[in-house]
Structure 1
Amino acid sequence: MSAGLPVVVVDDKHELLDPLRQLLEYEGWTVDTYDDIDAAARALLERTEPFVLVVDHDFDRPDGRTGFDLTELLRSAHPWGPALPICYYSGRIDGGDFLAAQRGRQLVSPSSYTHKNDDVDIVDVVRQAEQAFLDFRDLFEQQALRRALLGADEDLEAGADDDVLVGEER
């Protein structure tokens, strides 16, 4: 059972949202669902904590916006944007089309791609995305702590040198 990041599923296929939510909740995640990328964007940009996003590609919108547009927005505007675990989960775009669609957008692309008809278990996809993020966050925090400690050592050494100079002047 997961006690980690919340999961957000964005898909305009209502018949998929509830079963995905139930499955992921059964596995222990807190799950929010959205059937519209605009509503999802508004809600997700208000969040400051990280989450795992499972997003569809094609939303049958007259403006042509896709899951890539939501991904791009979150990568650029969410506090955890560049590291946010985003799982592209699509039934209409295959692996080759996915790679072609993300060409030129690699810096803002999703973390993973899974076709809905593949034998890949969405629970495993979410679990792997969550774990990769948690590993990244732990490493980032360890590096930040190390830099802070090294900086404190440098400050102490600089302070010791100042004390020696002050002592010599006396």
Structure 2
Amino acid sequence: MTTGVEPARRSWWSEHAELGVAALLAVVGVLVAVDTVAEGTLSAGSDSDPIGPGVVPLVLSAALVVLAALLTVDVLRGGHGEAEAGEDVDLETPMDLRTVGMLAGVLIATAALIPVLGWPIAGTVLFAGAAHALGSRRLEVDIAVAATVSLATWVVFDSLLGVDLPGGPLMGVLG
């Protein structure tokens, strides 16, 4: 017995969404190849490196383009990715644009603040802002944890690993 209600019909593009991934793989592969050729790294190497530095990027770009082609063929033949068995995300629920916008704003603010205030302060804004955007409402705890994580990552990268992260005003105090 039918209820008279037809199931929602999906568009051709939504049923073949993996073609977007294939296109992205192809574009990245082509860009890597073009950049490798433009850089002029295809010249022969030295006695210790006879193949030169341009071979690996070209092999990777070729692999990306081949994978894009194989994925395209598979999708057009009806193949598609399967959802994880334990997936508990309702794909019919619309995206929370407010949260996405807040996270984007936090990322943009962090990028703008790093050169001015340094990583420890900008990282605190990043971590505390992301926690707030994702639903935490314990501002004092979020800021304390964010400052601790941000300062710890700055110390580890700057002092122990030798990766120069800007310290900002804290450079004179801690550096």
- Which of these two proteins has the greater Rg computed from alpha carbons? 2
Between Structure 1 and Structure 2, which shows a larger proportion of helix residues? 2
TM-score norm. by structure 2 comes to 0.25
- Normalised to the residue count of structure 1, the TM-score between the two structures is 0.26
